[in-house]
């Protein structure tokens, strides 16, 4: 199968492209190297892709370009069966500081891609959405029909993207599926997230820092589970036209997360607290029933197992990853 992964130099897109290459697909990655965090992490991801492609004799192409560039997107989409759209300006706080830029990339970029996919008659577009579309919980765990009232510009862009995808499915018969990811973590993860922060501090005996009182809860999803959901959707039409939660279905507080990391690395450290940051959701918790029914999705790791795997990976890759985490 010929697959275009947008944002494929990034954390999640990088894992998706790697897995598709291992499966022998023909993969094109489009990424603009948005300077949100250290570019070196993305360069490393591209090296992994080339290595996997070489080992399996798979066809791989990297294109440095922007999803908002109509010509580039049309050219790349014209040659593929499935589009896996991960490119976005991620980060809730970034969206509070730069709402125009985030809207431009996440909304205009997506429309560009949907338009090209309609013209090229691709088999399916799979889009990365986010638990941020829900906003304040009226009931937990979130089911997909929970009201959507995002509390950040980022959440609004992701909700707009979902509506755009639905409209393209309804108006143009373009099969689309939106996956609402719940805080994803794992190897090569973005540096500016709680798990990578806690690990990078604890390995050098600095206390983990919690913003707020630590009672915010999160559903942390191991990246391998996100990969599995996307892999299934390449071949499967049962979720076309749908929005699915992709989470671990097991939320924990930031306090518990900090303790889990601290206890595995430096149990003697005292956790520190700083004031809460605006526009962060208070609680997220996914119901994955719908994804389980439609595509057989099952989360594979508990948070303790996933954090343990991430720490193991971090220690094995510390030499190149740690300086990049610190510089981000």
Q: Which of 60, 134, 154, 181 is catalytic?
A: 154
x/- mask, ligand NAD, residues 116-145, rule CB under 6 A, reads ------------x-x---------------
Q: How far is the CB of 268 from ligand NAD (least distance, A)?
A: 30
Facing residues of 180 across strands? Answer: 129, 245
Q: Does 62 bind ligand NAD (CB under 6 A)?
A: no
Residue showing the smallest CB distance to ligand NAD in the complex: 10
Which one among 5, 83, 151, 184 touches ligand NAD, defined by CB under 6 A? 184
**Cβ nearer to ligand NAD, comparing 96 with 266:** 96
Q: How far is the CB of 107 from ligand NAD (least distance, A)?
A: 11
Which one among 19, 72, 86, 197 touches ligand NAD, defined by CB under 6 A? 86
**Contacts to ligand NAD from residues 265-284, by CB under 6 A:** none
Q: How far is the CB of 238 from ligand NAD (least distance, A)?
A: 22
Q: Does 7 bind ligand NAD (CB under 6 A)?
A: yes
What percentage of the chain's residues is helix, strand, coil (to nearest 5)?
Answer: 45, 20, 35
User: What is the rounded end-to-end Cα distance, in angstroms, of the chain?
Assistant: 35
In which residue are the tokens 């996919």 written?
117
- The rounded distance, in Å, linking the Cα atoms of 178 and 243 is 5
Is residue 154 among the annotated active site residues? yes
Q: Does 95 bind ligand NAD (CB under 6 A)?
A: no
x/- mask, ligand NAD, residues 15-44, rule CB under 6 A, reads ---------------xxxxx-x-----x--
* DSSP structure string for 121-188: T-SEEEEEEEGGGTBS-SSSSBPTTS--B-SSHHHHHHHHHHHHHHHHHHHH---EEEEEE-SEE-TT
- The rounded distance, in Å, linking the Cα atoms of 105 and 103 is 6
**Cβ nearer to ligand NAD, comparing 166 with 269:** 166
- The rounded distance, in Å, linking the Cα atoms of 233 and 229 is 6
Instruction: List all residues 6 or more positions away from 189 whose beta carbon is below 8 Å from its beta carbon.
Output: 11, 195, 196, 223, 310
Which one among 5, 10, 126, 258 touches ligand NAD, defined by CB under 6 A? 10
Q: Does 11 bind ligand NAD (CB under 6 A)?
A: yes
- The rounded distance, in Å, linking the Cα atoms of 320 and 149 is 40
Which one among 181, 297, 310, 321 touches ligand NAD, defined by CB under 6 A? 181
**Cβ nearer to ligand NAD, comparing 173 with 325:** 325
Q: Does 155 bind ligand NAD (CB under 6 A)?
A: no
204 class by beta-carbon count within 10 Å (0-12 exposed, 13-18 middle, 19+ buried): exposed
**Tokens, residue 208:** 């983990």
**Cβ nearer to ligand NAD, comparing 53 with 286:** 286
Q: Are 301 and 248 in contact (CB under 8 A)?
A: yes
Q: How far is the CB of 128 from ligand NAD (least distance, A)?
A: 4
Instruction: List all residues 6 or more positions away from 66 whose beta carbon is below 8 Å from its beta carbon.
Output: 32, 72, 109
Which one among 5, 90, 116, 126 touches ligand NAD, defined by CB under 6 A? 90
- The rounded distance, in Å, linking the Cα atoms of 196 and 216 is 17
Segment near ligand NAD (CB under 6 A); pick from 3-11, 19-27, 197-205, 297-305 = 3-11
- The rounded distance, in Å, linking the Cα atoms of 63 and 141 is 39
Residues engaged in binding ligand NAD (CB under 6 A): 6-7, 9-13, 30-34, 36, 42, 66-68, 86-90, 105, 109, 128, 130, 181, 183-184, 190
Q: What is the set of active-site residues?
A: 154
């Amino acid at each position: 199968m010929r697959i275009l992964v947008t944002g494929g130099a990034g954390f999640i897109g990088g894992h998706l492209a790697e897995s598709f290459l291992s499966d022998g697909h023909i993969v094109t990655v489009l990424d603009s190297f948005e300077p949100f965090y250290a570019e070196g992490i993305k360069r490393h991801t591209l090296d992994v892709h080339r290595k996997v492609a070489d080992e399996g004799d798979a066809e791989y192409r990297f294109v440095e370009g922007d999803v908002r560039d109509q010509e580039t997107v049309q050219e790349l989409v014209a040659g593929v069966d499935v589009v896996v759209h991960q490119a976005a300006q991620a980060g809730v706080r970034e969206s509070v500081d730069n709402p125009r830029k985030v809207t431009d990339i996440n909304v205009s970029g997506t429309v560009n891609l949907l338009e090209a996919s309609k013209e090229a008659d691709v088999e399916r577009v799979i889009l990365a959405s986010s638990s941020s579309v829900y906003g304040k919980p009226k009931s937990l765990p979130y089911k997909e029909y929970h009201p959507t009232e995002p509390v950040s510009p980022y959440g609004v862009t992701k909700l707009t993207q979902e509506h755009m995808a639905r409209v393209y499915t309804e108006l143009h018969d373009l099969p689309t599926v939106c996956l609402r990811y719940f805080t994803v973590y794992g190897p090569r993860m973005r540096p500016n997230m709680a798990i990578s922060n806690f690990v990078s501090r604890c390995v050098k005996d600095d206390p983990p820092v919690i913003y707020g009182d630590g009672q915010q809860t999160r559903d942390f999803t191991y990246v391998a589970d996100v990969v599995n959901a996307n892999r299934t959707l390449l071949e499967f039409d049962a979720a076309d036209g749908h929005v699915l939660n992709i989470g671990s279905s097991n939320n924990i507080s930031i306090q518990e997360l900090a303790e889990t990391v601290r206890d595995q690395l430096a149990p003697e450290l005292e956790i520190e607290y700083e004031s809460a940051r605006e526009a962060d959701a208070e609680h997220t918790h996914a119901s994955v029933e719908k994804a389980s029914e439609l595509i057989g999705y099952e989360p594979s790791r508990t948070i303790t197992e996933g954090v343990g795997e991430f720490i193991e990976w971090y220690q094995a890759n510390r030499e190149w990853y740690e300086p990049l985490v610190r510089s981000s």
